[in-house]
Amino acid sequence: MKLIIAIIRPEKLEEVQDALDKQEVHLMTASDVRGCGSQRGYSESFRGNKGVIRLLSKIKLEIAVNEAYVEPTVQAILKTARSEGGKIGDGKIFVLPLEECYRIRTGEKGGKAIGP
């Protein structure tokens, strides 16, 4: 069991979700997050005064999968979350080991509880 955490561009969410659906990975948690990396931020202006906003808006996906699904999931995200030609700010994918997983409704645990 692995926990895949992907930080992606907000506008790529739909494409990524479609691609994951095709890999039969349907369950995920998505959150709006702010972060900074080598993209550094953007500048905002208010009544003529410029200010640099250092945290950018991103979407964080958390997907728990069984071993067999790790590679397809990562590949699907890599393929779809990448902007044309690959640009700074496309995001990152982290793969973490996952110790245990329970489904609250049934009390199942382990690979069964993770779902499809």
Q: Which residues bind other proteins (CB under 8 A)?
A: 10-11, 13-14, 21, 26, 32, 34, 39-46, 50, 57, 59, 88-89, 105
Strand partners, 95: 4
The CB-of-70 to other proteins minimum distance in angstroms stands at 21
The CB-of-87 to other proteins minimum distance in angstroms stands at 9
Between 13 and 70, whose beta carbon lies closer to other proteins? 13
Between 40 and 96, whose beta carbon lies closer to other proteins? 40
> How is residue 65 written in tokens?
């999968």
Between 89 and 95, whose beta carbon lies closer to other proteins? 89
Cα(47)–Cα(43) distance, integer angstroms: 13
AA letter at 115: G
The CB-of-84 to other proteins minimum distance in angstroms stands at 9
Q: Which of 64, 70, 63, 56 is nearest to 17 (CA)?
A: 63
Question: Nearest 5°: CA angle at 42, between 36 and 46?
Answer: 130
